[in-house]
Chain A
Amino acid sequence: MAEKHLLEIKNLTIHYQTDYGTVHAVEGFNLEVGNGETLGLVGETGAGKTTTAFGIMQLLPEPAGKVVAGEIYFRGENLLGKSKTEMKKILGKQIAMIFQDPMTSLNPVMTVGAQIEEMIKLHEPGTKEEIKEKAKKMLEVVGIPAVRQDEYPHQFSGGMKQRVVIAIALSCNPMLLIADEPTTALDVTIQAQVLDLMKKLKDDFKTSMIMITHDLGVVAEICDKVAIMYGGKVVEYATKESLYTKPYHPYTVGLFNSIPDLDSEQDRLNVIDGLPPDPTDMPSGCSFHPRCPHKMPICSQKSPSKVVVGSEHHVYCYLYEQEGAL
């Protein structure tokens, strides 16, 4: 049964210990990613998107960050039960990651060629020439002339650096690619270039992908499924079509309303009042209730459970629980 999904996360809970108390970064997080699927993980700063990614990769900053509960099944096996040695074989080879800021994610004192070769050497050993050839090919795949392999990261622009990072991530043909806001740090036109490239490569490489973003536009462009995250949880999950046709959760609705619409006239944006929750002091019940326009008494008492509202569309909200019962 677990084989049905490439990745299945159940009740993942990740806490950070800080001087100011325990940060509930991810709390009871559930998610599935199917083979060949691209899932958009959407949320604001502090919603726990990046922490979730590091949780899957087991790259949480030690000793502050810890997976407190939950399971992460990758191809049917629980990653949290793996030893460090076993994990090393999976990282890079089967799950690879693209980081948010291309300016800081490349090692400044190594040539870009060497950084791609490092990945290949680890997982697909061969002769020096073979590895070098493969690295050159990867550079060309992402649209960088292979002659630039001996240059250092500081000689590349931001967009080019992100291409190098993509080349590294894809060089061993991973089954799952986790991209953490890969275009946020880039200018709009460069962002378009990189998105275009990623769209093409994920098809060429037949890679499943988790696209972490705060931009619903990016999701519309590249994703099949969407998970909306708020306060460390997934609050709504759907196919792209279903979600963009009718978002259910009040937070999702608010998120859509906050984006200026390029096609229509509007004088004011409809905003969600208030601020995202403080992760050291999460509201009880549904963490969105202090900002929710449809708040009910029960919302602050108990966390809502999953309500199926359509095929491949579910939401965690009391508004729809009665509808489901009817």
Chain B
Amino acid sequence: MNEKIIEVKELKKHFKTKSGMLHAVDGVNFFINRGETLGLVGESGCGKSTTGRVLLRLIQANSGEVLFHNENILEYSKPDMKKMRKNMQIVFQDPYSCLNPRLTVSEIIAEPLIINKVYKTKDELETRIDELIGRVGLSERLKTSYPHELDGGRRQRVGIARALALNPEFLVLDEPVSALDVCIQAQILNLLKDLQKELGLTYLFIAHNLSVVKHISDRIAVMYLGQIIELTDYKSIFKDPLHPYTQALLSAIPIPKLGVQKERLILRGDVPSPINPAEGCRFAGRCDYSKQNCFEETPKLIESEPGRWVACHYVRQLEQN
């Protein structure tokens, strides 16, 4: 049952900028089992979206491995990769820029099918498009509409239908609901969950907010400045977060209930720049518990308790300075 569909090892992506090397993804490791959802959470600029894109080779990685069914796809040739792409697709964040404004809904959904020459006849193609449109809960009359005639939620459904067209096993969901209103957000989250159950999909769900991934993830990875600092099953991370950053992230969520306002952990300052980051724990500068060696030695992501991975020198022994 616990078959690893995708495994990422020491993945790195650095961008050259005017002011130095931007360490967008800096040695990331994780795996996702079949039918599982891994939530990847972090604030803007932490490298979570880059991770998703490097995984699909939309951006070329600098080093590391991406194993899909135990084969490193980063070493695939172009034609091999094209075949492989059918198995892994992506849903984007921005419901406005993710659809070509010059194509109709059915043309957009047909694109991947046409590119990969899946169907020989037009009828087969049409049947498949109709099926997809129904699957994501769009009404058939929208087939000939253009994206600008649809609202954000419907556009996102079109994006999901396009991603599903090739029957992928694995989907990267890059903040698919963060641009939507609360009610629409809930509709799309439910849809994604239903699709996963029906089609046996595996998800990497990227989000900037823990509360969104809670509902849909089996395990959650928290990213900070290009590195994963905690990776745990979704229950533990909410009940008993281990890394001080996770604790702060969790406590920052405003809770819509009375009398639950606990003591807030307010972080000092802003997220430091990912350009030429200093040695040591990336979070040390904002951490209330940091000690001398936090600034000198980068903590590794280790399994501190069964199934719970943390990158902190002082797991379970945090004392305020």
Contacts and interface: CB of A to CB of B under 8 A. Distances in A.
Interface in A275-299: 275-276
Interface stretch (A60-68, A258-266, A302-310): A258-266
A189 B249 contact: yes
A220 B255 contact: yes
A192 interface: yes
A84 interface: no
Interface residues of A, number: 45
Contacts, number: 114
Interface stretch (A93-101, A118-126, A167-175, A209-217): A209-217
Nearest to B193: A268
A44 interface: yes
A231 to B, nearest CB: 13
B256 A217 contact: yes
B183 A255 contact: yes
Given A188-B253, A192-B266, A255 B182 contact: yes
Nearest to A44: B181
A157 interface: yes
Nearest to A156: B270
Most buried by B among A214, A219, A260, A266: A260
Contacts of B271: 187
Nearest to A197: B266
Contacts of B210: 188, 262
B267 interface: yes
Contact of A262 (B185, B208, B238): B238
A107 interface: no
Interface stretch (A71-79, A130-138, A237-245): A237-245
Given A220-B258, A268-B190, A268-B193, A188 B252 contact: yes
* Residue of A245, A257, A271 most packed against chain B (CB within 10 A): A271
Contact of B208 (A187, A221, A240): A187
Contacts of A273: 187
Interface in B161-183: 181-183
Interface string A243-258: 0110000000011111
A230 B206 CA distance: 30
A271 B264 CA distance: 30
Given A187-B208, A189-B252, A189-B267, A271 B186 contact: yes
Nearest to A190: B270
B87 interface: no
Contacts of A159: 270
29 contacts: A44-B182, A157-B270, A188-B43, A189-B249, A189-B252, A192-B254, A214-B181, A215-B182, A215-B256, A217-B254, A217-B256, A220-B254, A220-B260, A220-B261, A221-B254, A221-B261, A241-B258, A258-B186, A259-B182, A259-B211, A259-B256, A260-B189, A262-B210, A263-B238, A269-B189, A269-B215, A270-B186, A271-B187, A276-B181
Given A187-B208, A191-B252, A217-B253, 6 more contacts: A220-B255, A220-B257, A220-B261, A260-B215, A270-B186, A271-B183
Interface of A: 44-45, 157, 159-160, 187-193, 195-196, 214-221, 240-241, 244-245, 254-260, 262-263, 266-273, 275-276
